[in-house]
Amino acid sequence: MNFEQIKSLDNQYVLQTYGRNSVAIDHGKGATLWDTEGKEYIDFTSGIGVCSLGYANEQWAKAIYDQAMKLGHISNLFYTEPYAVLASKLVSASGMAAAFFGNSGAEANEGMIKTARKYSYDKYGQGRATIITLKNSFHGRTITTLKATGQDHFHEFFFPFTEGFRYADANDMDSLLAQSGDDVCAVMMELIQGEGGVNPLQKDYVQAVAKLCAEKDWLLLIDEVQTGIGRTGSLFAFQQFDIQPDVVTFAKGIAGGLPFGGFLTNEKCRNVLKAGDHGSTFGGNPMAASAANVVMDAMTPAFLQEVKEKGEYLRAGIAALNSPYVSGIRGMGLMVGVGVQGMTHKELKDKLMAEGLLALTAGKDTLRLLPPLVITKEEIDKGLAVMAKVMK
């Protein structure tokens, strides 16, 4: 089918819940994509931070194929090898204690929220269920994770929302203390707010929050759905903030493109959720777990160091454009935010796309770049050349 045929089929039969780009992507290799009309793009999106090993990675595809030919699915009522192996890899690389597997970021955050509330209920009884989250955060699209999201416009239409969330300003301990109280059981945050505009939290603030949580026996809940699995140049971003969460979630990049999400708990929380308290039919599916094992095996210290270096190279390249449209450059590793002025972030994204570079937007005025972690210097240079053409 050509683009117009696909688009008209979609418009007739699909709920139009996305602000889609006028392009149908057909295939890719590495960090390069081609649309149905044969046009080539450099990809600075990875889906939305998902395709960490790029497109058509042979080891990844082979692991999925081999597992599909062996056992495509079995319920969580049985043990499977890829599942247990993946959990052991995540635990040993993160300093956490045990894993739960689901299918998406919102579902991972739901499980983390349930862990915090049950931890508190088991120890202190009812009335201590409130979770403090940060303004400008994003935690997902379910009724509970929408309410956990600290942006008012996500709290419309779908009433009644889950109770028990209060919001503090990021990087502001006084604001957090003002939301404190006997009803609180946890603080939940992203270390770099992704959808909110690629806003990194300050290290001293994060460490002060961790200390406060330890003092009050509030759980420290870190949402690494976007920042996790190598994106920032360490397996988890929290490892660069020198903190240890009680619970941390991951999703987007973990299985390189198959649906997968989950959370890791520390020793203190590993027995909070018991048999029957939580579950997921598809969670930890053997094909998805096999794909995730390939992604985890790629996360060597040398690979993570390259992610850091490529991120610095990309940020330096953007800074060197001296573009009048750039108001600032933020981020860590290959999670890069470019403040846009003089046109809207959407206008800029569309102009880049027309010239062969795919990018994302975030917040009110940020161009968000999340290239595949395997992107080459040559591909980054091609992307920078498009940025130079459009933004000089």
Ligand X SMILES: *Cc1c(COP(=O)(O)O)cnc(C)c1O
Chain residues binding ligand X by CB under 6 A are 104-106, 109, 138-140, 190, 194-195, 223, 225-226, 251-252, 261
DSSP labels for 309-320? HHHHHHHHHHHT
Minimum CB–partner distance for residue 101 and ligand X (Å): 13
DSSP labels for 150-173? B-GGGSSSSPSPPS-EEEE-TT-H
Minimum CB–partner distance for residue 139 and ligand X (Å): 5
- State which residue has the least CB distance to ligand X: 105
Minimum CB–partner distance for residue 196 and ligand X (Å): 9
Closest CA relative to residue 228, chosen from 203, 199, 264: 264
For residues 187 and 131, the answer to whether their CB atoms sit within 8 Å is yes
Strands 192-193 and 199-200: antiparallel
Quote the tokens at residue 64.
Answer: 């999925």
Q: How does DSSP classify residue 269?
A: G
Q: Cα(362)–Cα(360) distance, rounded to whole angstroms?
A: 7
| Cβ proximity to ligand X, 223 vs 365, nearer residue | 223
Instruction: Reduce the secondary structure of 106-163 to three states and give it as a string.
Output: HHHHHHHHHHHHHHHHHHHCCCCCEEEEEECCCCCCCHHHHHHCECHHHCCCCCCCCC
| Cβ proximity to ligand X, 128 vs 231, nearer residue | 231
Minimum CB–partner distance for residue 173 and ligand X (Å): 22
Closest CA relative to residue 392, chosen from 337, 351, 332, 362: 351
Minimum CB–partner distance for residue 171 and ligand X (Å): 17
| Cβ proximity to ligand X, 261 vs 363, nearer residue | 261
3-state secondary structure (DSSP) of residue 80 = coil
| Cβ proximity to ligand X, 140 vs 233, nearer residue | 140
Quote the tokens at residue 376.
Answer: 């080459």
Minimum CB–partner distance for residue 279 and ligand X (Å): 17
Q: Give 3-state DSSP helix, strand, coil % of the chain, rounded to 5.
A: 40, 20, 40
Cα dihedral sign, 80-74-46-245: negative
H/E segment holding residue 128: none
For residues 387 and 318, the answer to whether their CB atoms sit within 8 Å is yes
Minimum CB–partner distance for residue 149 and ligand X (Å): 8
Q: Cα(382)–Cα(380) distance, rounded to whole angstroms?
A: 5
| Cβ proximity to ligand X, 139 vs 147, nearer residue | 139
| Cβ proximity to ligand X, 141 vs 166, nearer residue | 141
| Cβ proximity to ligand X, 326 vs 359, nearer residue | 359
Minimum CB–partner distance for residue 2 and ligand X (Å): 29
Q: How far is CA 44 from CA 116, 246, 381, in A?
A: 35, 32, 12
| Cβ proximity to ligand X, 43 vs 107, nearer residue | 107
Contacts with 153 (C-beta within 8 Å, 6 or more apart), sequence order? none
| Cβ proximity to ligand X, 32 vs 285, nearer residue | 285
What single-letter amino acid sits at 40?
E
Longest dimension (CA), the chain: 61
Minimum CB–partner distance for residue 323 and ligand X (Å): 26
| Cβ proximity to ligand X, 30 vs 200, nearer residue | 200
Minimum CB–partner distance for residue 109 and ligand X (Å): 6
